[in-house]
Amino acid sequence: MQHSQQRASLPKLDVERFELPNGLVVLLSENHSIPSVSINAIVRTGSRYEIDDKAGLASLAGELLDAGTTSRTSQEIAETVEETGGHLATFGDYQSSGVVLTLLSKDLSLGLDVSSDLLMNSTFPEEKVAQRIDRRVAQIKARLDVPRTQASDVFNEIVFKGTPMHRPAIGYDDTVKKLTREDVETFYRCQYAPNNSILAIAGDIDKQAVKNRIADGFAEWNRSGQFGTTLVSQAQRQTTPIEKFVTVHKEQVNIIIGHVGITRGNPDYYSLLVMDTILGSSPGFTSRIPRILRDEQGLAYSTYSNITASAGLDPGRFIAFIGTAPENLSRAISGLRKEITRIVEEPVTAAELDIAKSYLTGSFVFRFQRNSQIAEFLIEAEVYGLGFDFLEKYPELIRSTTIDDITRVTRKYIDPKTLTTVVVGPVDVIEH
Amino acid sequence: MKTITTSTDAAIATSTQAGSFLTRNVQKMVLPNGLTVLTKQLHDKPVVATMVWYRVGSRNEELGQTGKSHFLEHMLFKGTDRYKKGEIDLVTHLNGGANNAFTWLDFTAYYFTFASDRWQSALEIEASRMRDTTFADEEFASEKQVVEEELRIGLDGPWEALENEVWATAFRQHSYHWPTVGWLEDLEAASGAEMKAYYDKWYHPGNAILVIVGNFETAEAVARVEELFGNIPAGPPTSPLRVVEPAQRGEKRLTVKKATPVERLFIGYHAPAVGEPDSYALKVVETLLATGKSSRLYQRLVEKDKSVTKADASYHDHIDPSLFYLQAELQPGFELRNVEGAIYEEIERLKRSEVSSAEMEKVKRQFEASLVIGSEEPLQQAMLLGQYETIAVSEHIPEDSRGFRYLDTLLDRINAVGIQDIARVAQKYLTDSNRTVGYLIDDVEQERDRAA
């Protein structure tokens, strides 16, 4: 079988970066493939910066950004964007919050106007806060309908105990109910500051024209010094294995096995990306876990593993997942554990390494097909200091990985003896 | 696409331009063995999307044999004469590509995306598995377990449970009665020999559409297609399937019980097939009711009544008449019947023509923008071209809108919809007698039995 060693041509992002006097970082990338633009106006805050008693605050604040500003009601915000055919979303997750807009390019000015309005002038009307809290409480309940989510939540509570990562970003029923308009307002005033934010715009723009509009639109946003003071505790890997079985009456058992992972800034990130591709993160069923547990043994429709997917400012998680019929429970758990142990104890083959590298370098181009993907990449490159020449550097970061690197990083970052195993499903009716 | 505009301030996309940007430069040819080939060069991204669509889906199945089309889709990754088990994925992987497939009521479709310097492996694989898929017994047995697990994921989903029941109730005669994944009991009984016979019946060049979109040269691509697919025998002719659902004469209601903390509502109305004149006005109704936070259902149910966490309207294009449906997930403390009543009030407003011209303009722009923004990737364009070439085939569809040409006229027909059309189709389709209403409620008894 042959495969191409040619380098697929990558898009030229031609990124322009500058800072406004108030500290707002602006990133622009121009292309004219289709007449649309993506605007990602991101604040570097999230549930990472909230306390347990206020769990869900950052997420609620992010969702409420479009609930009203000093000059527009929530309905006017929605109509302003939707009248153009554009799409607006606001959010708050673990380490980022803000506004994501997709528009036809003729409506760019309006998009900038709405973005700056939401980040600078949101008013959080009392009635809207109460309404969204009620909705949040219902959404928290609805999570119990998705056993995979439930398994993930239980896993995080165990593995990230004592750190902000243990909480679901959406919060808990009892903490969300107690949140107030003042909590949201205070969080917004402290955290949503230009010197804590990044504005990325990708697509059919004229960079020079856009620059002036940005300077005008965001100039009156005042610097703040109140954010980012929280010292975030980092998760430590547990020293003994933990097992947790949760009974819910569903057709499948959902199983997550793993422990604390790595940060995005970890220098071994790229070797672990190659390792992920060999162990359990390939598309299709080439990597070990999907090939063996799904394609050969027929145990599951969905099974995979990864450590790099959740790497962020804080260590993410190393996990292996499988959803299977209850009668397969012990086979599924031992199958996952066997593959985790094998990749730590035995070197991967040269062929496996070669396939993984070919895949990672060849597929990189697909991360830059849409303007929204490009805008997301600009943010990622800024937050982690990847450099805007990352597209050129990436292939070499992957190609330089050796079998010894894989052995070294699996031994360093994966410990088959201290895994947490979480099972959610009809476990009361099966023997284990 | 570049020719639409490159200036930020130019008025883009009059409807005709936007409508045709998808079909511009599309070349269609039919090989002597019946294979339809659509190609479209797009040179602004260094990738190529390749799809094969087969005109077979759960619509073509029979009672007792449901789920075959979807199961067959899985088997097409298990190996051919030329590609041993695992090699289709391996070739994809080695070349940094992606592949997948999906099956629905009317079709089964396969796709590959590759960087444009190596995309032709997709053609080689598709040519090989069109007729030469192997059906090894042991592969069949293990893949059956995989498909059963996929089906169980659906059984665990509250929306799937309710949706399946509403479709099964609304359609008693037509094969849209069963879900594409099939009934678990049929799947358990399926045999490898039956699967092979089904493959032999439907997988032929004459029942397939090959779509290639991206950065390639047409002449070279067509030559390779002829070389790889040209010698595949035409296969037996497939006669058009005639299945009809008789008109519904009165409301149908059902309840699904399932352990769940959140109650849900699903209302389905029988609605026209793809390309029927009234289908365009119903697409406008769909957008008006549920696209964005300024939409009717969001403003009424989420903002005003505060009775639901989400509400949606959907109307998909299918070969035969299907359902226009509404969904709502309830805020605890609210009653299903009250939310249902509020939805009917919103529908009555449409019947009374209570729609402003500004709202009509908004909805049409939303429709158009989503088509433009949703077509950034070559694969997204290949999906649209392939889908309509596969399903927009009925004789009732005007010739200028048949096959992928459906996309030529889509926006013009949407833009021609007036407020009186909204009222007319609401009065005609969104009626009591034409609907099936499903409630999903918590299975308190089951939980009590388990606890006992």
Q: What distance lies between CA B343 and its chain's CA centroid?
A: 25
* Domain termination residue (choose one: B196, B229, B262): B229
Chain A positions touching B295 (Cβ under 8 A) are 82
Q: How many whole angstroms separate alpha carbon B259 and alpha carbon B92? A: 41
**pLDDT for the residue A325:** 94
Chain A positions touching B284 (Cβ under 8 A) are none
Q: Determine which of A31-35, A87-91, A138-142, B1-5 has the lowest per-residue pLDDT on average.
A: B1-5
Strand partners, B439: B255, B265
Q: How many whole angstroms separate alpha carbon B280 and alpha carbon A293? A: 46
- Per the structure, the count of domains in chain B is 2
Q: How many whole angstroms separate alpha carbon A392 and alpha carbon B140? A: 44
Q: Do A145 and B262 touch (CB under 8 A)?
A: yes
Strand partners, B256: B440
Q: How many whole angstroms separate alpha carbon A129 and alpha carbon A109? A: 29
Give percent above pLDDT 90 in chain B: 85
Q: Is the dihedral of CA A404, A409, A415, A421 positive or negative?
A: negative
**pLDDT for the residue A9:** 67
**pLDDT for the residue A228:** 67
* Structural domain contains residue B245: no
Region B379-388: mean pLDDT is 97
Is residue B281 domain-shared with residue B189, that is, in the same domain? no
Chain B positions touching A75 (Cβ under 8 A) are 293-294, 299, 303
Ramachandran quadrant class, B74 (left: phi over 0; alpha: psi -120 to 50; beta: rest): alpha
Q: Do A8 and B118 touch (CB under 8 A)?
A: yes
Is residue B293 domain-shared with residue B364, that is, in the same domain? yes
Please give the interface size between A and B, counted as residue pairs whose CB atoms are below 8 Å apart: 246
**pLDDT for the residue B58:** 97
**pLDDT for the residue A238:** 86
Q: Report which residue type is found at B263.
A: E
Give percent above pLDDT 70 in chain A: 96
Is residue B271 domain-shared with residue B156, that is, in the same domain? no
**pLDDT for the residue A4:** 44
- 3-state SS of A213-233 is HHHHHHCCCCCCCCCCCCCCC
Q: Do B153 and A79 touch (CB under 8 A)?
A: no
Do the beta carbons of residue B440 and residue B44 sit within 8 Å?
no
pLDDT digits (tens, 9 = 90+) for A280-291: 998 778 999 999
**pLDDT for the residue A431:** 52
Is residue B268 domain-shared with residue B381, that is, in the same domain? yes
* Structural domain contains residue B12: no
Burial of A405 (0-12, 13-18, 19+ CB in 10 A): middle
Q: How many whole angstroms separate alpha carbon A374 and alpha carbon B232? A: 42
* Structural domain contains residue B241: no
Region A73-89: mean pLDDT is 97
Chain A positions touching B1 (Cβ under 8 A) are 33-34
Structural domain for B141, as ranges:
24-229
- CB of B155 within 8 Å of any CB in chain A? yes
**Which of A295, A352, A394, A429 to mutate to probe the B interface, most B CBs <10 Å?**
A295
Q: Which two tokens stand for residue A327?
A: 């009668």
**Which of A39, A76, A132, A145 to mutate to probe the B interface, most B CBs <10 Å?**
A145
Strand partners, A28: A16, A201
Is residue B78 domain-shared with residue B164, that is, in the same domain? yes
Is B7's pLDDT higher than 70? no
- 3-state SS of chain A is CCCCCCCCCCCCCCCEEEECCCCCEEEEEECCCCCEEEEEEEECCCHHHCCHHHCCHHHHHHHHHHCEECCCEHHHHHHHHHCCCCEEEEEECCCCEEEEEEEEHHHHHHHHHHHHHHHHHECCCHHHHHHHHHHHHHHHHHHHHCHHHHHHHHHHHHHCCCCHHHCCCCCCHHHHHHCCHHHHHHHHHHHCCHHHEEEEEEECCCHHHHHHHHHHHHCCCCCCCCCCCCCCCCCCCCCCCEEEEEECCCCCEEEEEEEECCCCCCCCHHHHHHHHHHHCCCCCCCCHHHHHHHHHCCCCCCEEEECCCCCCCCCCEEEEEEEECHHHHHHHHHHHHHHHHHHHHCCCCHHHHHHHHHHHHHHHHHHHCCHHHHHHHHHHHHHHCCCCCHHHHHHHHHHCCCHHHHHHHHHHHCCHHHCEEEEEECHHHCCC
Q: How many whole angstroms separate alpha carbon B93 and alpha carbon A3? A: 9
Q: For residues A235 and A4, which has the higher predicted lDDT (pLDDT)?
A: A235
* Domain termination residue (choose one: B182, B198, B229): B229
Is residue B395 domain-shared with residue B312, that is, in the same domain? yes
> CA torsion, points B441, B445, B450, B452, in degrees to nearest 10?
150
- What is the 8-class DSSP label of residue A235? P
* Structural domain contains residue B210: yes
Chain A positions touching B411 (Cβ under 8 A) are none
Do the beta carbons of residue A23 and residue A35 sit within 8 Å?
no
Is residue B205 domain-shared with residue B306, that is, in the same domain? no
Q: Shortest Cα distance from A402 to chain B (angstroms)?
A: 17
CA atoms within 13 A on the CB side of B219: 0
**pLDDT for the residue B11:** 30
Residue of A325, A366, A428 lying closest to B98 (CB–CB): A366
pLDDT digits (tens, 9 = 90+) for B126-170: 999 999 999 888 889 989 999 999 998 888 889 999 999 999 999
Is B284's pLDDT higher than 50? yes
Strand partners, A242: A420
Phi/psi for A30 (5° steps) reads -105, 130
* Structural domain contains residue B17: no
Q: Which two tokens stand for residue B63?
A: 């009672």
Is B215's pLDDT higher than 80? yes
Residue of B77, B118, B446 lying closest to A4 (CB–CB): B118
* Structural domain contains residue B397: yes
Q: Report which residue type is found at B283.
A: K
Q: Which range scores top for mean pLDDT: A215-229, A345-359, B128-142, B433-447? A: A345-359
**pLDDT for the residue A229:** 57
Lay out the sheet containing A317-324: strands in order across: A242-247, A420-425, A253-260, A317-324, A303-306
Is B9's pLDDT higher than 60? no
Is residue B368 domain-shared with residue B416, that is, in the same domain? yes
Q: Do A33 and B332 touch (CB under 8 A)?
A: no
- The residue in chain B having the minimum alpha-carbon distance to the alpha carbon of residue A146 is B157
Longest Cα separation, chain A:
67
* Structural domain contains residue B11: no
Residue of B95, B261, B332 lying closest to A362 (CB–CB): B95
Domains of chain A, start order = 16-218 (3.30.830.10), 242-429 (3.30.830.10)
Rounded mean pLDDT of chain A?
A: 94
Q: How many whole angstroms separate alpha carbon A336 and alpha carbon A288? A: 10
pLDDT digits (tens, 9 = 90+) for A8-40: 567 789 999 999 999 999 999 999 988 999 999
Chain B positions touching A6 (Cβ under 8 A) are 117-118
Q: Which secondary structure element, helix H or strand E, spans residue B161, and what is its range?
A: helix B158-170
**pLDDT for the residue B451:** 56
Do the beta carbons of residue B120 and residue B224 sit within 8 Å?
yes
Q: Do B376 and A3 touch (CB under 8 A)?
A: no
Chain A positions touching B289 (Cβ under 8 A) are none
Residue of B100, B156, B370 lying closest to A252 (CB–CB): B156
- The residue in chain B having the minimum alpha-carbon distance to the alpha carbon of residue A293 is B146
User: How wide is the angle at C-alpha B53 spanned by C-alphas B212 and B197, nearest 5°?
Assistant: 140
**pLDDT for the residue B447:** 62
Q: How many whole angstroms separate alpha carbon B362 and alpha carbon B365? A: 5
CB atoms within 10 A of CB A47: 25
Is residue B401 domain-shared with residue B266, that is, in the same domain? yes
DSSP B402-444: SGGGHHHHHHHHHHT--HHHHHHHHHHHSSGGGEEEEEEEE-H
Count H helices and E strands in chain B, helices first.
17, 11
**pLDDT for the residue B238:** 83
Q: For residues B443 and B122, which has the higher predicted lDDT (pLDDT)?
A: B122
DSSP B208-265: EEEEEEESS-HHHHHHHHHHHHTTS---SPPPPP---PPPP-S-EEEEEEES-SS-EE
Rounded to two decimals, the pTM is 0.92
Region A94-122: mean pLDDT is 97
Residue with tokens 């063995």: B33
Q: Do B261 and A142 touch (CB under 8 A)?
A: yes
Region A341-348: mean pLDDT is 98
Is residue B409 domain-shared with residue B327, that is, in the same domain? yes
Q: How many whole angstroms separate alpha carbon B242 and alpha carbon B24? A: 33
Is B343's pLDDT higher than 60? yes
Is residue B380 domain-shared with residue B424, that is, in the same domain? yes
Q: Is the dihedral of CA A98, A104, A109, A114 positive or negative?
A: negative
Is B51's pLDDT higher than 90? yes
* Domain termination residue (choose one: B229, B260, B276): B229
- What is the 8-class DSSP label of residue B11? P
Is residue B305 domain-shared with residue B372, that is, in the same domain? yes
Q: For residues B285 and B136, which has the higher predicted lDDT (pLDDT)?
A: B285
Segments of A269-370 assigned E as strands: 303-306, 317-324
Task: Give the domain CATH number at B189.
Answer: 3.30.830.10
CB atoms within 10 A of CB B258: 19
* Structural domain contains residue B7: no
Give percent above pLDDT 90 in chain A: 87
Q: How many whole angstroms separate alpha carbon B452 and alpha carbon B449? A: 5
As for the ipTM of the complex, it is 0.90
Q: What distance lies between CA B174 and its chain's CA centroid?
A: 18
Q: Do A284 and B88 touch (CB under 8 A)?
A: yes
Residue with tokens 């610097």: A223
User: How wide is the angle at C-alpha A303 spanned by C-alphas A287 and B387, nearest 5°?
Assistant: 90
Identify which of A386, A207, A236 has the alpha carbon closest to the alpha carbon of residue A317.
Answer: A236
Q: Do B8 and A135 touch (CB under 8 A)?
A: no
Is A333's pLDDT higher than 70? yes
- The residue in chain A having the minimum alpha-carbon distance to the alpha carbon of residue B119 is A4
Residue of B5, B145, B447 lying closest to A35 (CB–CB): B5
